[in-house]
Structure 1
Amino acid sequence: MKSSKIFNKTLVSSAVLFATMTLAGCSSTMEQAKYADGTHDVSAKGKKGLITLTVEVKNGHIIDIKTKSHNETESLYLNAERLLSKVVTNNGHEGIDAVSGATYSSNGILKAINSLPRADGSQVEYVAVGAKEESGDDNFKLKWSIQPQLGLLKGDYYYEEARFRQGHMGSVSIVTEINNSDNVIFAEFNESGRPNYYTRLYQDVPKRMSEYNFSMGKKKGTAWVQSALTMEKLMVEQDKLTFDLNPDFDPSLGNKLKEPNRLKYAGIDVVAGASNSIQQSMVPLTAKIHANINGKGTNERFYQHAEKLVDAKGNWTGVTAMLRLVVDTETKQITKAHYDEVFADEKAQIKDASQKKFYRQSKYESINYVEPARIGFNVMIDGLNAHLQQGGSLFLIDDLPATGDTGSYAATGFTKRSNSWDNYLKQAEILYKEMRQDGMIIEHKKQ
């Protein structure tokens, strides 16, 4: 009897175990049924045209992918085609990076896979990806912000620049309240690497919103821009543009963060990584501006407008458009213009996956950012500045790079109109309206 009970108990346990394993197997099968079974032709646009793949799906799992047709450059596509085996192994495109040097072809392949019919009938929105080799350091711990002040900013404008310490170019922009020079409402310091900088990558490159901050952070544990931000905040909050020399200054303590006598000027507290820039460039330049404010004054007016760019649903894309114009108050002519698109401070805030690596940088100052129109973003904006300084219209910009769809890189150096020009025109309209109301700009022709 006892033996019978043990036998029956074993049967029951075995049945429960079998049922559990069966359910687990069913659950596993259900989880794997990601795509609709069958052989599917799927397509998406690469760099030069449609890429069409033939995908075989069995039990909801991709088991084979072949290229049916494409119009890509053969050598580039062969590199991108290496992704096919990864997609099979991964059973989908999620989490797979583009192949460096074949980003457009890679995204064409991955987007085609994304259009594969799913077992549940759903359709997931595709987000473009970049090459892993180009991505930033995911574990970068330093924090700083490069975000411009949103909305309108205007005031009397002062600017000084000069080379210092082996040829670095330092510059300071100060904006004071109109007709009240005692109130500093905007301060900005920038520096470009000297032309003979030991690292070619950073020769003549602005440091404020470029990869330089990340490089500095990895070497010295601090971003260059952090000192500039500290000083700018102090100047605006205290309306302070001059600093007294520190009587106990000891230059040998320059990199000793906790030593009170490491700084040349009293009353400032800057990060060691950029203390030379502040002491040798920013402070002397702001002293010159202070002298001008209390002397000859200025005949230039500053206007800036910054606005977050949003998608069709009204959600921030993680990019902020910013336009600055400086105008001569006597001639009403534009003397300086700068447009930029600034990436968010955090990767997670940037919607386009291929642009996440540019967080805390701007399109103009980034070394590695590639404009889809295939011309340097800085080249476009430098052209805009020259165009406006020469009396060109804010709105008639068809003579500038990447303002038209040529389709010919060989003939023009660019292939299509940059979307940034439309973003610029919107900001230009806002500032133009404000400047006209103030009587600070002559009439500019429109289309």
Structure 2
Amino acid sequence: MKKHLKAETMKRLKNFNKTLVSSAVLFATMTLVGCSATSSTAMDQGKYADGIHDVSAKGKKGKIILTIEVKNGHIVDIKTKSHNETESLYLNAERLLSKIIANNGHEGIDAVSGATFSSNGILEAVNSVPRRNGSQPAYAAVGSKEQSGDEDFKLKWSIQPQLGLLKGDYYYQEARFRQGHMGSVAIVTNSNNAKDVIFAEFNESGRPNYYTRLYQDVPKRMSEYNFSMGKKKGTAWVQSSLTMEKLMVEQDKLTFDLNPDFDPSLRNKLKEPNRLKYADIDVVAGASNSIQQSMVPLTAKIHAQINGDGTKQRFYQHAEKLNDAKGNWTGITAMLRIVVDTDTKQIVKAHYDEIFADEKAQIKDASLKKFYRQSKYESINYVEPARIGFNVMIDGLNAHLQQGGSLFLIDDLPATGDTGSYAATGFTKRSNSWDSYLNQAEILYKEMRQDGMINQHNKN
């Protein structure tokens, strides 16, 4: 009996111990899970107060206002609500927004070179986002770090043309300036109102004796020049041009008064208000010399022409995204421009180009991604599969049409057909771009015929 009771007691004790161990393990596990959940929750909470916050700070020329969205204490989106900064400089400073989101704050982020005041305005505004713990740390201004040679610099600009049809009265001026660079301005006005500027475009080609051979006689607007300048100086040539073009179109403004306080000794000092030759312009980066020495004087000549004899030339442009067989954009936009004489109804100028998307990710052909924000005509490094320069093809088209050739009968032009073995003779292959050109030509031809602005062109 005693032996049986002893065995039973031992059995119960063993079961009790097993239960005790299991409970301990369960408790420990629950504790760990609880700690993990608490830790995870704390981690997810972040440091900022959830919600959508409008915050502001002073830039160089006024208040910069940002709209910042916070979820679980983390900044998930930042948009510029308003600013009064120089547009080209602020575009550079906005490169910080993605860094701030990735960093969940402004701490440790440097200002963008050439846009220090705008950068600090953005960073200080972010510093004022409400925090969960109610603290408000003081903001300390930061300087910039030069990143020349950085292959992944994030300058932003767009070279995309206006899609669809654009037409009006055409004015054009060009002249060499500053050691031989060629500047040109094209202005298009409403045919029913000469004071209504609907299109402005400035371009510049490097002088023939440019110190960098790569850019001798090369147009800057849609070539690698902008990237080269961006890596060296933190700004792109085209950004200043885009700023001025937007000003001219939005304000119908083609003339600018001289700045009475202009000081030539300050021309290279970006922070000085009197470094610019003309008043009422706000270009202090990228192409300020080109704007002051070429664009503004040329548009002044056009302004005088508009208010004088006017023009006998009409401008037509059509731009269209090129899609693949499934209807998806390839990342290339086709654009055809034609200028006709309103008296003779003859084509006096023509230009066709294919323009790559602003971002690499938008270009479907992997081999073409490196040409983003460039065009086939102006790119230095673009290789035309037809085995001839794309610019040579289009210059041939322009000459063909100026000489009275048909928009559609182009078999005499380069790369309109296979002309032999390239390996044996160096002859060219047919370029697919001619098919895209013919589609745009058909669209513009119908429009010009309806307007009575072009003679009949044979198609067969």
SS, match of residue 330 in structure 1? coil
Higher alpha-carbon Rg: 2
What is aligned with 2:173? Answer: 160
What is aligned with 1:347? Answer: 360
Distance 1:201 1:358 in 2: 16
Question: Is residue 236 from structure 1 mapped to residue 220 from structure 2 by the alignment?
Answer: no
Question: Is residue 282 from structure 1 mapped to residue 295 from structure 2 by the alignment?
Answer: yes
What is aligned with 1:356? Answer: 369
Pick from 192, 196, 202: which aligns with 1:179?
A: 192
What is aligned with 2:212? Answer: 199
C-alpha RMSD over aligned residues: 1.8
| Alignment: residue pair count | 317
SS, match of residue 394 in structure 1? coil
Distance 1:414 1:156 in 2: 41
Matches within 5 A, 1:37-436: 139-409=152-422, 413-436=426-449
The 3 A distance-change label for structure 1 pair 137 and 209 is farther
Q: Give the residue type in structure 1 aligned to 2:340.
A: V
Specify every segment of 5 or more residues in structure 1 that has no aligned partner in the other structure, as ranges: 6-135
Distance 1:140 1:218 in 2: 7
SS, match of residue 182 in structure 2? strand
Cα offset, 1:141, TM superposition = 1.2
SS, match of residue 302 in structure 1? strand
SS, match of residue 217 in structure 1? helix
What is aligned with 1:110? Answer: none
Cα offset, 1:411, TM superposition = 7.4
The answer as to whether partners of 1:254 and 1:272 remain within 8 angstroms in 2 is: no
Identity rate, percent: 90
Distance 1:176 1:193 in 2: 28
Distance 1:250 1:372 in 2: 51
Specify every segment of 5 or more residues in structure 2 that has no aligned partner in the other structure, as ranges: 1-9, 18-148
Q: Give the residue type in structure 2 aligned to 1:164.
A: F
TM-score, normalised via structure 2 length: 0.67
TM-score, normalised via structure 1 length: 0.69
Cα offset, 1:252, TM superposition = 2.0
The 3 A distance-change label for structure 1 pair 253 and 372 is same
What is aligned with 1:56? Answer: none
Distance 1:287 1:158 in 2: 12
Q: Give the residue type in structure 1 aligned to 2:450.
A: Q
- For residues 79-124 of structure 1, the C-alpha deviation after alignment (integer angstroms, 9 at most, x for no partner) is xxxxxxxxxxxxxxxxxxxxxxxxxxxxxxxxxxxxxxxxxxxxxx
SS, match of residue 273 in structure 1? coil
Q: Give the residue type in structure 2 aligned to 1:306.
A: A
Q: Give the residue type in structure 1 aligned to 2:308.
A: G
Distance 1:291 1:362 in 2: 32
The answer as to whether partners of 2:348 and 2:402 remain within 8 angstroms in 1 is: yes
The answer as to whether partners of 1:226 and 1:271 remain within 8 angstroms in 2 is: no
The answer as to whether partners of 1:192 and 1:205 remain within 8 angstroms in 2 is: yes
The answer as to whether partners of 1:347 and 1:357 remain within 8 angstroms in 2 is: yes
Distance 2:207 2:249 in 1: 28
